[in-house]
Structure formats: structure tokens, C-alpha cells
A and B are shown apart, each in its own frame.
Chain A
Amino acid sequence: MILDGKCPKGPIQTSWDRHRFDLKLVNPANKRKYKVLVVGTGLAGGAAAATLGELGYNVEAFCYQDSARRAHSIAAQGGINAAKNYPNDGDSIYRLFYDTIKGGDFRAREADVWRLAQVSNNIIDQCVAQGVPFARDYAGYLDNRSFGGAQVSRTFYARGQTGQQLLLGAYSALSRQVKAGTVKLFARTEMLDLVVVDGEAKGITVRDLITGEIRTHVGDAVVLCTGGYVNVFYLSTNAMGCSVTANWRAHKKGAFFANPCYTQIHPTCIPQHGEHQSKLTLMSESLRNDGRCWAPKKKGDNRHPNDIPEDERDYYLERKYPSFGNLAPRDIASRAAKEQCDDGRGVGPGGRGVNLDFSDAIKRVGEHTIRERYGNLFEMYEKITDENAYKQPMRMYPAPHYSMGGLWVDYNCESNVPGLFVLGEANFSVHGANRLGASALMQGLADGYFVIPYTIANYLAKTKPGTVKADHPECKKSVEDVKAYNNRLLNINGKRTVSEFHRELGKIMWENVGMARSEESLKDAIKRIPALREEFWKNVKVTGKGEELNQQLENAGRVADFLEFGELMAKDALHRNESCGGHFRVEHQMPDGEAKRDDENYCYVGAWEFKGVDKEPELHKEPLTFENVHLAVRSYK
């Protein structure tokens, strides 16, 4: 099937404005008759639930954490992009649009990206009005810093906790709506199934994580804001509870999964230190404003980094990409770091690390200024590694961080299942094959505050409210199915724990479907994942009961989904016989090692249809056309 993204035609500059006018509206008195279910309360979900509630819709919001303030958006450190051009350094909506398309290695839809760039400015205004304490200069104006993949300073920030502050802004707007009675919040509640009635999304089945109760919530539309899937690698920068579960269960009910092989491996994370490790910690890309990446020129150089003289250091990003230098985009910076380590010039235990050095910046602007800019990051680094980065370089290594792929959506953020909308990291829409730094926060809030309020009305206006009730046979069936699935997990009573399986899957994924992929490695993964899945269903041990707080059962369900999803990810990576952005196939590279795209054959979105576990998924394509940006070889040299 050829998919249609339903993008507006005509000049891109006015595309969103024209589209907004063409969308149907729901009259204010009718809005409260519609119930909208919003799953996830990160930037996308929190903003969507608050805004839809404010508009007068009857909203129910769900999160697995104990509070809507804890979603992993909170961990974003560096900042949020907007095309304000306050520094007068040449930014514009067009430039943000261009940088994002190019940064994504020409694998995103032009119209969606244009809209994102256009509403980026509204986001900053909105957050300021909410009381988000963005950094200001001494005159009281908003301050900016630079991020990778851009030659302008367009990133707004709140110390090293921008995600936290933006999320707390959305959370406060949400809290206001809870008080107003327009939003009902269900914390410690996890979505485990999508209820589809006559082909349309009409509800979700959830598990109350305290009591274990399985129940269905019905609504007139469902909005998934359930984040990304890089915990499939086991070790990632995501929170422990982040999973593909909500998206995967929706996928199993018919929603197409687009570009699952596009995963972002973030260049600056604290290297792994042991087998027992449960997660990896990211150090903000903003550090590359002042930190210089280098590796020793000599192989196996074990000297303390401070003892290696200047002329024996290879500032490899500055050498390879003189015009962007240390601010090369993430996929490129990650591969460059891996290249140094593969060459035997890595630092730290196991040689899997490169230096991020602040000594020049400290000499230039003083330790005080560096402390003011990144104090909390240096503190966090010291807690984890016991090393003082004011005195010696940080050690960094790439780690799984973000997923550009996600459920397929059209220009309205609606999936191929009518009534099912997908926002933020959970969808695939704007980042192409590589996301630029400080763009995730932008997308989450753009979708939640400024896109879904318009586009959902277009669907609801065509729908009669309240047609499906909780006693509908599809609801009952969904509850029974989820109960049966959980009971199956509880009754295996095997010998290996859930996290043992997760670690093993993660190892397969990292080694075969990680930063460098080959036909051989992918075929190996496609062979090994089903075998591991089979063992899981025979030999996993989940203690306790279903009708109680049971963290083992929660994790077992999530890992079971990763064991299915990982296979799709490998299949997508195998089918995409080109390199682009974060998807690097070793067979396809330029003589200098850069990713080599194949626009003739792969300039499309690959969206997969679920056909059953252990059955071949079906690929549907949405061709990508570039009318405003010329398809070109991406260069940061």
C-alpha cells in the first residue's frame, strides 16, 4: 500500500495556516461531550491533556509513574530550539526548517518539519507565560546557546535542566485543568491494549499498578504520547520504565510502525563501568559548546589525559569537520567517537571512551562561568565516576538515547487507525533518520500545545460522541485478553529472571543493530531474537500475583514486547539497504566513512503492518518528496 501523509499542497510557507483553516471545528458547547484519552504525561502528553482540557474536552490522562511530573522528558538537559533569531545571527523559520531536514538526512516530511519550525516560537512564549525560568542575560532578555547541527544560537535553556522546567510548566498547566475538573488523572496506570471498534480507536485497556485491576476506559479518541523504545538496548539513557509497550500493543491492533531502525545513539554519555549497570547517563550536548572532543594520537596511550601534550592529541571532530567542529550532529559525532575507539585510541576502562576537555574553556572564560553554565552536569559526572571534570577531561562514549522511528502518522498526527493520534517521540514524523539536539522538547510541546488541539477537532467533528460504552464486547474481550496474557506470564515459573532476558536482548541489539549494522549482523539478530523470545515464554520467572502491586509482572510485559519489537527493528534495518542518519550500514559508506544514502531506492518512510508474532510483517511505503530543500549529500565539513 502507498501511504498518504495528507500534507497540504502549495507553498510551504502558508501550508499550516491554510490547513488549519480547512480543518473542521467542534463548537464550544459540544466539546465537553467528547472524551479524549491521553496516554503518557511527558511534554507531548502533558501539554496535550492540559490544552484539550482547557478547550473544554473531557480528558482522561494516564501515566505509569506516581505523578504526572515524572515522565522522562524531565531528564532532558540542554535546551529547546526556536527560530526567534533574538541574537540576530541569521536564524529564521526557514533556517530551522532547513537545518532539521538536513540534520535528519532527508528522511522526514517537509510539511511537518515546516510546521514544527513555525510554531517553535509560540512554545517559548507559552513557557515564559507559565513561569518557566529560562536563562536571562543581565538586561533581562532571554539567553541562547548553540547546539549540534546548527551554526546559529537558537537554543533556549534553563541551566542544565531545561526538560525538567518545561515539563513542570506543562504539569502546572495540567494541574490547573485537574482542579478545573476538565482533566481526570490516572497515575500508576499502564496502558496494555488499544480497543478498536469498527476500525476506529475507542478506548484503552489499562492495569492499575497498585491493585492490579485490569479495566477499560472508553473515549472518542485516543492520543498516545508514550515516548521512545531505545530501552530495547537494555542499557540506554531512558528511564527504567520507558518501554515500547503502549505503541507495540497499538501496533498489534493495526497501527503501522514507521522507520523503527532509526535510533539515535547520543555521543556524550558516561561510559559503561560494569556488568551490573542498569542504565547509562547522558551528559548534555550543550557541553560541546565549550568542551573539545579528543583522543590520543598514539594507540593504547595509557597516560593520564592531563599528561598528554597538545601535539599528541587528536581533536578529531575539529579535524574532520572544521566548519561545525565539536558541534557536528549527533550521529556523526557518535560514529567519530566509535571510530577512535575502534582504532585502539579510546581512553578509560576497556578503551571505550573519548575525552571531552574543558581546560581551554576554563582558561578562556574562567571556572566560575563554566560552573554557572554546566554546574549540575559536572556534579552529576563526579557522583557517577568519582572524577572532577574541572581538573581533568570527562570520559564519554555514545549510548542509545532517542528513537526517531515510531508509529506512523499523517500530517494531522493521526495514525492509520482513525481516532488514534500519536504525538512526540512516540510518532515518527519530524526528525527523519537523525534528530538534532534540543529538537525533542520542541517537538513534544509543538505537538501537544499547538498541533493536536486543531487536528483532533477535525476527527471529532465527524464522530458522534459516546457511541462506545464500557460494556461493549470489544472492551470485554480486550480485558479478557490482557488478563490471559498476564496470567500466561505469571504461570511460566521458569528459572531466569526478566532482567536476565532483557540484558541478553540488549546485548544482541547493541552488537547487531547498534551504531554499525551489516547484512550479516542483522541476519544474526533476526535469527537470535525469536529464539530468545521462545526461551522467554518457556523459562521466565515472574513471582507474585496479578492482583497486586507487582513490578516483576510490569517488567515482564515490557520485555515481552521488546522481544517482539526488536525483531521488527532488525528487519527494518536489514530492508533499508542504505545508510542514513543514525542508521549506518557498513556496506554503504563514502570513502571517508560518512553515511551513503540511496535516494533513488529508499527515499520513503517504511511503515510496517503487524501480521502476527512469528509472521512476516508487511511493508507499506510513503514516498518522500522534497520541493523546498534540495536532496543533497549532507556535509558538515
Chain B
Amino acid sequence: MNLTLHVWRQSGPNQPGKLEQYDAKNVSPDQSFLEMLDEVNEELIKEGKDPIVFDHDCREGICGMCSQVINGVPHGGQERTTVCQLHMRNFNDGDTIYIEPWRALAFPIVKDLIVDRSGLEKIMQAGGYTSCHTGGVADGNAILVPKVDADYAMDAAECIGCGACVAACPNGSAMLYTSAKVAQLAALPQGKAEAAQRVCAMTDAMQEAGFGNCSNHYECQAACPKGINVKFIARLNREYQKSLFK
């Protein structure tokens, strides 16, 4: 099939950017979206033009590196799918596709489709851990974890840190991302001891890094390639309230 692409091109953080048009020809429905872009880039290189730069690495939907807004939707709108796992069979011959970077105040554009997501790192560094030392910990079975709690923690822990939740949120909030880590660790006995400090430190860091707040649009959950549920945001709020009485 043949497609018309409109791709955001921007040479640097403080440069003006614009959508430029490219043709993608003879695209196979079995190709992934990024493989389609690879071929467009091969043509650009041969013409001596700068290829489109985009973040990608594992190409199997787990590293969280790829980050494109396709036709207005982060990761392209197929349920529970990252850009790298999106296949061209979801498009039709003759389609026009708009490709943009994550758009959020806290994610400045680096170049073309690449953004700076270091704000997410700051949130993790503020408290996204248990303060255990290497060595000298108890046997793995010393503290039992009810299966429901382990499963709940795993549901939250599936977050791949791509930032699609932020890109989808009208407020540019990282609440889903932050809540997933807060909820995972609060649900496990190993993380309970520091739950109060953690939720305060992480939400403070989220605000300092320029992310907005949650006003219950739930766009984040719809865009999340791992289907992280907004119930974790409710959990974050509950943990936050509890911390006020400590």
C-alpha cells in the first residue's frame, strides 16, 4: 500500500518545527510502523537528506523507548500497543498519517520525534524504591505476600515508563506513571514501611519537574500500552491522604 506521511521535523529544542510531507510507498501490511519509517529514512539518506530521528530500541513493546503520537493518539490508538508493535495492517492504502512527538510541557523536544523524558527519572529518584541494602535481607519466603497483593503490585509494575500517559493528558500530568510505582510498593509488605514518605516525595518531584495534575480525564489509561488502570491514581490519592496523618 501507499501512504502519505506528515512528520514533525524540528532540528533542535529552541528551533521552530513544522510538519513535512513524505510518501511511503509499497508498504507491506506485515511491516511494523517503525519498519515503515525505516524505509522512508533509507530513501531520505540516499537522497542526501537528513533522516527522521525517533527513539526506539527493543522493538518488542517493553523497553518504553518509542514515543510517537500517530494521528493525534500516543502510540497510535491500537489498544495496549506501543508504536513499535503497531503493524501496518491497521492502516489502509491511501491513508494520510500524521506523526508527532510526545507533546507536554515537561517533555521538551530534543529533535524531530525525540523528547527529553528526564522528568520521569526525577520522580523515580525521589522515592520509587525500597531502601534495602544489597545483601543482608530476609529469605524471599520469610514474609508472605498474599497472591491478590502480588498480582495487584504486578498490574501496576507493568508500566514501561514511556510517558504516553503524559502525552495523552490534557494537563500533561504524570499521575498514572507516579501512581503505578506508589501503588506497587504500597501494596507489598516490603514497601509499606516507607509508603508515606514515598508518596509525598514522588508527588512533589512530579510537580517540580513541570508535570500537571490529574483532573480525571482518564486519557492516560486509554493511551497506556500496558493498560495501567486509573485505579492506581485513586490509590495514590489515598496513600497521600494517609500520609497527612503521619
Interfacial residues, chain A to chain B (CB-CB below 8 A)? 47, 50-51, 54, 65-72, 74-75, 84, 86, 122, 124-142, 158-159, 161, 164-165, 168, 171-173, 175-176, 178-179, 185, 187, 210, 239-241, 273-274, 276-279, 281-282, 379-380, 383-384, 386, 449-450, 453, 495, 497, 499-500, 541, 543-544, 548-549, 551-552
Contacts and interface: CB of A to CB of B under 8 A. Distances in A.
B28 A67 contact: no
Contacts of B138: 125, 129
A175 B124 contact: yes
Interface in B164-209: 184-185, 188, 190-191
B134 A140 contact: no
Given A129-B190, A187-B121, 7 more contacts: A50-B134, A66-B118, A126-B137, A138-B147, A175-B121, A176-B125, A241-B57
Nearest to A281: B60
Contacts of A74: 58, 62-63
B32 interface: yes
Contacts of A210: 110
Given A172-B128, A551-B53, A134 B140 contact: yes
Interface stretch (B42-50, B92-100, B216-224): B42-50
B50 A544 contact: yes
A453 B141 CA distance: 25
B154 A133 contact: yes
Contacts of B64: 67, 69-70
A137 B185 CA distance: 19
B30 interface: yes
A384 B150 contact: no
A66 B134 contact: no
Contacts of A544: 50
Nearest to A52: B134
Interface stretch (B1-9, B155-163, B229-237, B238-246): B155-163
Contacts of B34: 278
Contact of B63 (A72, A132, A142, A499): A72
B146 A140 contact: yes
A36 to B, nearest CB: 15
Contacts of B57: 65, 70, 72, 239-241
A202 B143 CA distance: 44
A66 B121 CA distance: 10
B77 interface: no
Contacts of B134: 47, 50-51, 54, 126, 173, 449-450, 453
Given A67-B120, A131-B184, A136 B81 contact: no
A210 to B, nearest CB: 6
Number of chain B interface residues as a range? 35 or more
Interface in B107-161: 110-111, 114, 116-118, 120-121, 124-126, 128-135, 137-141, 143-147, 150-151, 153-154, 157-158, 160-161
Given A279-B59, A380-B61, A552-B51, A130 B135 contact: no
B20 interface: no
A25 to B, nearest CB: 15
A265 B162 CA distance: 30
Main secondary structure of the interface of B (DSSP, over half): loop
Contacts of B45: 497, 541, 543, 552
The interface centre, meaning the residue of B58, B59, B120 with most chain A CB atoms within 10 A of its CB, is B58
Given A54-B133, A383-B87, A142 B153 contact: no
A248 B58 CA distance: 22
Contacts of B59: 239-240, 278-279, 281
B85 interface: yes
Contact of B124 (A84, A128, A138, A172): A172
Contact of A240 (B56, B80, B143, B184): B56
22 contacts: A68-B121, A71-B63, A72-B57, A72-B63, A74-B63, A75-B58, A122-B135, A126-B134, A131-B190, A132-B157, A133-B188, A138-B147, A158-B154, A165-B157, A176-B125, A240-B59, A274-B30, A278-B59, A541-B48, A543-B45, A543-B48, A552-B45
A142 B150 CA distance: 10
B62 A129 contact: no
B41 to A, nearest CB: 8
B58 A72 contact: yes
Given A241-B57, A278-B32, A69 B135 contact: no
Contacts of B185: 131
A141 B144 contact: yes
A549 B51 CA distance: 11
Given A70-B63, A72-B58, A168 B157 contact: yes
Contacts of B124: 69, 171-172, 175
Contacts of B158: 159, 161, 164
A131 B188 contact: yes
The interface centre, meaning the residue of A124, A131, A159, A380 with most chain B CB atoms within 10 A of its CB, is A131
A126 B46 CA distance: 51
A543 B38 contact: no
Contact of A136 (B111, B146, B190): B146
Contacts of A384: 85, 87
Given A141-B141, A173-B134, A239-B58, A543 B63 contact: no
A130 B129 contact: yes
Contact of B154 (A159, A171, A240, A449): A159
B65 interface: yes
Contact of B161 (A67, A137, A499): A67
A130 B62 contact: no
A139 B154 contact: no
B145 to A, nearest CB: 5
B160 A164 contact: yes
B176 to A, nearest CB: 16
B89 interface: yes
B71 interface: no
The interface centre, meaning the residue of A47, A140, A159, A453 with most chain B CB atoms within 10 A of its CB, is A140
B184 A142 contact: no
B35 A278 contact: yes
Contacts of A383: 61, 81, 85, 87
A541 B44 CA distance: 11
A246 to B, nearest CB: 16
A507 to B, nearest CB: 17
B39 to A, nearest CB: 6
Contact of A164 (B62, B140, B147, B153): B62
Instruction: Give the 3 A-B CB pairs with smallest separation, nearest first.
Output: A140-B144, A172-B129, A129-B137
